[in-house]
């Protein structure tokens, strides 16, 4: 059963919040961790793991190992893949015609079946109790309809899994908020972030597929594709937004949101 969804940023500022807005965001992230402390597994969708041009990746490796932090911040640790759940997800996505690839390294199973984790996974995981994971990575070249459909299939598998599962969406938003940032300042980053928070806070997530493609591209985001999968997964039931927060202490926007299943 999909018990809830956490939208979580992966920017270093949440590890040592520099201002009040970021501190409020961190409180939401901690609440996500508390809300999902009793789940059996997580499904974590990240934009910063394996990159493929036109497929979705499902990581089958048994061991998920910290490897790549961001800007010198090391976050050591090792997590286990929920192999039973990941195989069900992969088979269901494949059967439905989703362009999905199963990913492993070195060995099919056992101690040498290992896969690296980046800051895109490691930072959200700092706020979550250690549980088995399923790691998925969407491609930006897969069309919107397919991403939503993939999320629908994912949600159905979780409903039928016999487990309590939380969906974690790793996402930062516009990356053009500062003249001093690596991408400079672009007005579309602010416009996109404002729109996303409106859709979240006004319970209008179903409008995500209608966000203009030009805006997504110019805003320099790495959140949109994961959120389309999230939208699909949410169709399995009714979810209530419990809280949300937004902060932009550097050049990129970060948002946190917690949805729980209505009983």
Domains in the chain: boundaries: 2-261
Is the CB of residue 148 less than 8 Å from the CB of residue 229?
Answer: yes
> Which of the four pLDDT bands, split at 50, 70 and 90, describes residue 116?
very high
C-alpha 119/C-alpha 49 separation (Å) is 9
- Give pTM, 2 decimals: 0.97
pLDDT tens digit sequence for 164-179: 999 999 999 999 999 9
The pLDDT mean for the chain works out to 97
C-alpha 184/C-alpha 219 separation (Å) is 11
The mean pLDDT of 101-105, rounded to a whole number, is 97
Half-sphere exposure of 125 (CA within 13 A, CB side): 28
Does the pLDDT value for residue 263 go beyond 90? no
What class has domain 2-261? alpha beta
Place of tokens 């203009």: 212
Q: Please tell me which residue, 72 or 40, carries the higher pLDDT value.
A: 40
> Which of the four pLDDT bands, split at 50, 70 and 90, describes residue 72?
confident
pLDDT tens digit sequence for 204-241: 999 999 999 999 999 999 999 999 999 999 999 999 99
**Structure-token pair, residue 51:** 């990159």
Is the CB of residue 220 less than 8 Å from the CB of residue 210?
Answer: no
> Which of the four pLDDT bands, split at 50, 70 and 90, describes residue 98?
very high
Is the CB of residue 42 less than 8 Å from the CB of residue 168?
Answer: yes
């Amino acid at each position: 059963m999909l018990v809830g969804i956490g939208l979580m940023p992966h920017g270093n500022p949440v590890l040592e919040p520099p201002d009040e807005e970021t501190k409020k965001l961190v409180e939401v992230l901690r609440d996500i961790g508390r809300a999902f402390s009793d789940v059996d597994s997580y499904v974590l969708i990240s934009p910063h793991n394996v990159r493929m041009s036109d497929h979705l990746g499902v990581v089958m490796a048994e061991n998920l190992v910290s490897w790549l932090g961001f800007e010198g911040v090391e976050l050591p640790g090792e997590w286990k893949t929920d192999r039973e759940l990941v195989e069900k997800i992969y088979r269901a996505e494949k059967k439905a015609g989703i362009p999905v690839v199963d990913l492993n390294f070195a060995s099919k199973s056992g101690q040498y079946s290992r896969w690296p984790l980046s800051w895109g996974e490691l930072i959200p995981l700092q706020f979550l109790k250690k549980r088995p994971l399923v790691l998925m990575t969407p491609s930006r070249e897969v069309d919107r309809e397919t991403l939503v459909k993939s999320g629908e299939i994912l949600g159905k598998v979780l409903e039928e899994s016999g487990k309590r599962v939380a969906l974690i969406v790793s996402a930062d938003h516009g990356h053009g908020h500062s003249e001093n940032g690596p991408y400079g300042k672009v007005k579309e980053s602010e416009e996109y972030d404002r729109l996303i928070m409106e859709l979240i806070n006004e319970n209008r997530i179903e409008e995500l597929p209608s966000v203009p493609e030009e805006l997504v591209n110019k805003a320099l985001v790495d959140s949109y594709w994961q959120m389309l999968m999230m939208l699909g997964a949410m169709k399995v039931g009714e979810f209530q937004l419990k809280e949300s927060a937004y902060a932009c202490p550097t050049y990129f926007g970060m948002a946190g949101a917690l949805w729980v299943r209505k009983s």
